[in-house]
Amino acid sequence: MISAISTNLPVFIIIAPLFVAFVLPTLAKRKRLVENLVLSVEVLMLLGICYLASIVLFRKDIPIIYQMGGWPAPWGIELKVGSLGTFFLLTIAIVSLPVALFARGNLTHEVGGKERIARFYVLYLLLVGALAGMALTNDLFNVYVLVEVATLSCCGLVSARNHPRAAKATFTYLILATLGSCLVMGGIGFIYIITGHLNMEFASRELSIIWQNNPRVVWMAFSFMLVGFGVKSALFPLHVWLPDAHSVAPSPASAILSGLAVKGYIICLLKVLYNVFGQTLMQAYSVHKILVLVGMVAIIAGSISALTQKELKRRLAFSTVAQVGYIFLGFGLLNTRGLAGALFYLASHAVIKSTLFLSAAAMQTATGKKEIKDLSGIGRKMPITAAAFTVSSLGLTGIPLFSGFVGKWNLLQGSMESGSILPISVIIAGSVLCGAYLFPVIRIAYFETAPEKDWKDPNLPQKLALILLSAVIVVLGVVPGPFLELANRAAAELLVLR
């Protein structure tokens, strides 16, 4: 029994949330049961993922490969538990558990009515399951299916709040994301045309032999993939849907959307770029230059856009655009340090941005105001929320001893290794800009006098979630050890020349 579970663990991690998601609607009337079920699934996932991570960390040799239905590779679908997959799974588990905890505290208020809670959780679990699948899958068509599942559940999450703005944002998102999916599908099609394989490893092997016969098809595949995943992961000029969608969604949803959903597509793109096309092809088509360039533009433009926002949640949403730029920049550096830094930054941004969104949501719920200037003096009335916000802003800015620093530091070293000065200065400038748009909030929260109002810290589950996430930020900053090790190993594996 035990051995059956542990061999089937990879698929169990994906199936468990999906299965529970389909059971939930039948229990919709029993709110407590639904919430407990969701939390226990999350905890189970966390435990399973930790087990997998320990196996991957201590058994250094080969990745665990799981064949769906027992069909071997070129025919069946493969799940591959490598360093990259485990790394992203860990991120998913660490972020989604506290967010679910937070949702338990404030969801009734956010989505407007008890009966809607079960619907929200269905979408939430579908999204988590799809993301877990993205982390593990080794099959191109499977990637497409999971991307679709994730996209549709994201749309549902954005529209979970009953509001005309939410409907509009969802519609925009739906149209653009569907276009993106079409492009991804097209890209996969191009690869399939010339290689005849959907399994990533086989496709990659085939591609490295025959790409020179069909250079134009490869280049179409590259462009389709970049734009398709770019629009889903809010790469700079394609981010137009993000600020609306992330700022009107219910707060647990915006936390998970900004923190994890965007990252799932980034991981998919990373797999396609490095595992299917490989480093040689990227250099041949100078994709890495595009990535670095777009990343730098995204950092600067996103940060400046964030500076001009007056609403807190919109500011945070634009900040996501900027931070995604860092990750793309790291992907384009083509060295282990930079890639590992980008991966670590991806994880730390997932944690930090969800903390920011959750604490912003708690402040908004207490004050009933959206704008930053209305938060004066909130630091003394809601100490825990404001402390979580402060810790996470310090982390995002990249102050040492917080997790953002480790990522940014590795990125910096990666850019130094790649030898160009521009990315270094953009990273530092991005840090300064990040401080410029986040520190005023802290100043207003702590240094200005509060109006005579009865603002209080949120209830226990929400407080617990905030404390957990802040603790993760600090722990990752002080002892990044195993996490960074996983990121390093993943980066090294991705960069192996095929």
Positions in the binding site for another protein (CB under 8 A) = 164, 167-168, 171-172, 175-176, 179-180, 183, 215-216, 219-220, 222-224, 226-227, 230-231, 237-238, 240-241, 285-286, 290, 304, 308, 398-400, 409, 412-413, 416, 424, 428, 431-432, 435, 439, 443, 447
Residues 254 and 320: their CA atoms lie apart, in Å, by 11
- Cβ proximity to another protein, 107 vs 291, nearer residue: 291
Q: What SS3 state is found at 480?
A: coil
Nearest to 427 by CA among 326, 304, 289: 326
Q: Which of 302, 296, 298 is nearest to 314 (CA)?
A: 302
- Determine the longest span between alpha carbons in the chain, in angstroms: 73
Least Å distance, CB 405 to another protein, is 8
Residues 6+ apart with CB under 8 A from 191: 140, 203, 207, 221, 276
For residue 487, give every residue at least 6 positions away whose Cβ sits within 8 Å of its Cβ, in sequence order, or none: 83, 87, 340, 341, 343, 344, 347
Q: Minimal distance in Å, beta carbon 227 to another protein?
A: 4
Nearer to another protein, 109 or 443 (CB): 443
For residue 165, the minimal CB distance to another protein (Å) is 9
Neighbours of 113 (CB within 10 A): 10
What Å distances lie between residue 139 and 171, 272, 303, 440, CA to CA? 30, 10, 36, 46
- CB nearer to another protein: pick between 178 and 365: 178
Burial of 260 (0-12, 13-18, 19+ CB in 10 A): buried
DSSP-derived letter for residue 70 is: G
**In the complex, minimum distance from the CB of residue 492 to another protein, in angstroms, rounded to a whole number:** 19
Q: Rounded to whole angstroms, how far apart are CA atoms 396 and 408?
A: 9
Residue type, 257: L
Q: Report the nearest approach of another protein to the CB of residue 424 (Å).
A: 8
CB nearer to another protein: pick between 59 and 443? 443
* Residue (39 or 179) nearer to another protein, CB: 179
Choice between 230 and 295, CB closer to another protein: 230
Q: How far apart, in whole angstroms, are the C-alpha atoms of residue 153 and residue 145?
A: 12
Report helix, strand or coil for 86: helix
Rg (CA), the chain: 21
At closest approach, how far in Å is the CB of 417 from another protein?
A: 10
Smallest gap, in angstroms, from Cβ of residue 219 to another protein? 4
Question: Which amino acid, one-letter code, is at 100?
Answer: A
Question: To the nearest whole angstrom, how small is the minimum distance from the Cβ of residue 447 to another protein?
Answer: 6
In the complex, least distance from residue 19 CB atom to another protein, rounded to whole angstroms: 35
User: How many C-beta atoms surround the C-beta of residue 56 within 10 A?
Assistant: 23
326 vs 409 by CB, closer to another protein = 409
Q: How far is the CB of 189 from another protein (least distance, A)?
A: 15
Rounded least distance, CB 12 to another protein, Å:
37
Identify which of residues 91 and 309 has a Cβ nearer to another protein in the complex. Answer: 309
Cβ distance to another protein smaller for residue 25 or 400: 400
Close Cβ partners of 127 (under 8 Å, ≥ 6 residues apart):
149, 150, 153, 154, 157, 256, 260, 261
- Rounded-to-integer distance, Cα 463 and Cα 388, Å: 9
Phi, psi for 65 (deg, rounded to 5): -115, 130
CB of 144 or CB of 285, closer to another protein: 285
Q: How far is the C-alpha of 264 from the C-alpha of 273, rounded, in Å?
A: 14
Nearer to another protein, 98 or 480 (CB): 480
